Structure 1
C-alpha cells in the first residue's frame, strides 16, 4: 500500500512538472512570437518615409504676404463693415468739388472709392493711380462689374448702385441723377459713358513724370501719406505735396487723410526700407497742415473729421481739405 501511494505521488508530481514545462514552453513560444512580430513591425517602420513615421506633420504656416506700399488685396474689406451702404468718407466730401470736375485719386487701391465718387458726384473725369499693377487690375474689374450691373437695370428705370467692400455691386431702383445703363451725367449736363469718366493706371506717383502735363480740379490722397513717407522718407513726402500743388488748377481742392504716427510705428517693419526711413523721419503727421499752408502754398484748410460717423475702429482718421 505504502509503495503504491509513493508511485502515485511520483506520477502526479511528474505530470505537474510536465504541465508546468508545457505552460512555460508555451509562454516562451508566445514571447518569441511577440518579439518576432515586434521586430517585423520595427523593420516596416524603418522602411517607411520619415513623414509617415512621424504621423501627420504640422502644416507649414502659409507665408504671410507683405504689402510694403499699403497695397492690401482686400483693403476695403478691412475698412468698410458689411452693414454699411457706402464708405463713410463719402458723406463728408462736397459735391461741388467733383461734379463736372477733373479729378485724381492717388493710391486708389482696388478703385472702389474712385468708382463711388464718380457714381455719387458726377465727375467729368476721374483717374485712379496705384503703384501695384494687381490692384489696378482689380480696379478695372470692379469698373466693368459696376457697368455690367448698371446695364442689367430694366428699360426705362434708373438704378442707384453701390460697390460693397468685397467688390460686389449692389443696386436699388430709384430716380437716380448719377448713373443709368453705364452712363453718367456730368456737371455740365453732358451724358458720358462711365468708361469715358473713370480710368485707372499704374504709377509710382512720387517718381512718375507721366502726369506732368495734366491738371486737376480735385486731388485725393486718402490713407496714402504714411506709405509714401515710410518708403521715400521726408523728401518723398515733400515731393508728393509739391507735385499735388503743381497738378492742381487754381482754386483746386486737395483732400488728404493722413495716418497718425502710431500707425507708422505699427507698420515700420514691413520692409528694410520702411524700417530705415522710420528712424530718420523728422516731419510728423501733425506737421502736415503747417507744411501745406506755410511751405507749399495752399491758402485755406477745412477739417472734415467732425462730420464722420460709422467709421471702423482704426480708420477714424483726420480728413482735411486744402484749397489752392
Structure 2
C-alpha cells in the first residue's frame, strides 16, 4: 500500500509536457528565419557570397521582406552601401532588425576594445597603423561599425498594398529574397505582378534587381497556411518557372543572370535560384 502511494505521488509531481506548437507565419515572417537557413559553422548567409560589391558600394539600396535584418546589415557592412532600407510586413520583425543592428555595432565595439587591450599587452600601447597604411577608415564613434546607424534603416511596410512610390525616389539595387511565394499566396497573380512592376519603377536605369524566388514545391508545402493562401493557390495561373520570361518580356528588364552556380552552404530545401536582373 505504501509503495502504491509513493507511485501515485510521483505521478502527480511529474510536469505536464506541452507539445511545442509549430510557428505559423502566413506572410513568411518567421522568427529566427536566417538562423535555420544557414548550415552550422558558417559565419554568414551563403547568399551573400554570390553578390558583388559593385552592386552596393556607395549605392542606395532596398531590401524587400527584410525579416530580422541580418542580410540588410551584412550587405551594408560588407559592401559599403551609401544607404539601405529594409522593409517588412511584420512590425515585430522590424523591431528584431533594429535589435540586430544594435547588436552588430555593439559586437564590433567589443572587438575593438579587445584589440586595444591586446595591443597594450604586446607593448604597442594601443597604437595601430594609420588608415592610409591599413586601407581602413573607421568611424569617429565608439564602434568601428557605428556608421551603420546612419546608413541602415528599417520600416514596416507592405509593398503590394501600402507602399506608395515617392515621385523621385529610386534605388540602385533592390533585394527580394524568398518573398515572392508569400506575396503570391496572399495576393495572387495580381499581387506578384504588382511587386515586379513596382520594383522596376523603383530602380534607376542600369539598376540591379536581385531575386530569390521559391520553387513550386515550396508553395505546395505552404498552401494551407491560411484560408486566403489556400484559395489563391488554387487560382494561380503564373508559376515560378515563368517568372524570368515575365520579368524580361512583360515587365521590361533587359538582362538576367543566374547566380546560383556558386551558391553553397544552405540547408536542404533552400537550394534556390538567385537571379540578377538589370533595368
Q: TM-score range by the shorter chain?
A: 0.7 to 0.9
Deviations along 1:222-270, whole A, 9 cap, x unmatched?
0000000000000000000000001001100000000000000000100
Is the counterpart of residue 76 in structure 1 residue 21 in structure 2?
Answer: no
In structure 1, distance between residues paired with 2:272 and 2:51: 14
Unaligned runs of 5+ in 1: 1-51, 159-174, 185-191
Q: How does 1:272-291 map to 2 (within 5 A)?
A: 272-291=227-246
Match of 1:232 in 2: 187
Is the counterpart of residue 112 in structure 1 residue 67 in structure 2?
Answer: no
Match of 2:247 in 1: 292
Match of 1:142 in 2: 100
Contact 2:23 2:30 in 1 (8 A): no
Helix, strand or coil: the match of 1:201? strand
Question: How many aligned residue pairs are there?
Answer: 250
**Aligned-residue RMSD, C-alpha:** 2.4
In structure 2, distance between residues paired with 1:179 and 1:310: 31
Q: Relative CO higher for 1 or 2, CA cutoff 8 Å, sep ≥ 6?
A: 2
In structure 1, distance between residues paired with 2:238 and 2:193: 10
Match of 2:224 in 1: 269
State TM-score, norm by structure 1.
Answer: 0.72
**What's the offset of the Cα at 1:310?**
1.9
Q: How does 1:1-40 map to 2 (within 5 A)?
A: none
Moved more, 204-213 or 217-226: 204-213
**What's the offset of the Cα at 1:96?**
0.4
Aligned equivalent of 1:204, options 147, 155, 158: 158
Unaligned runs of 5+ in 2: 1-8, 117-133
Contact 2:179 2:213 in 1 (8 A): yes
Is the counterpart of residue 250 in structure 1 residue 208 in structure 2?
Answer: no
Match of 1:46 in 2: none
State TM-score, norm by structure 2.
Answer: 0.83
Larger Cα-atom Rg: 1
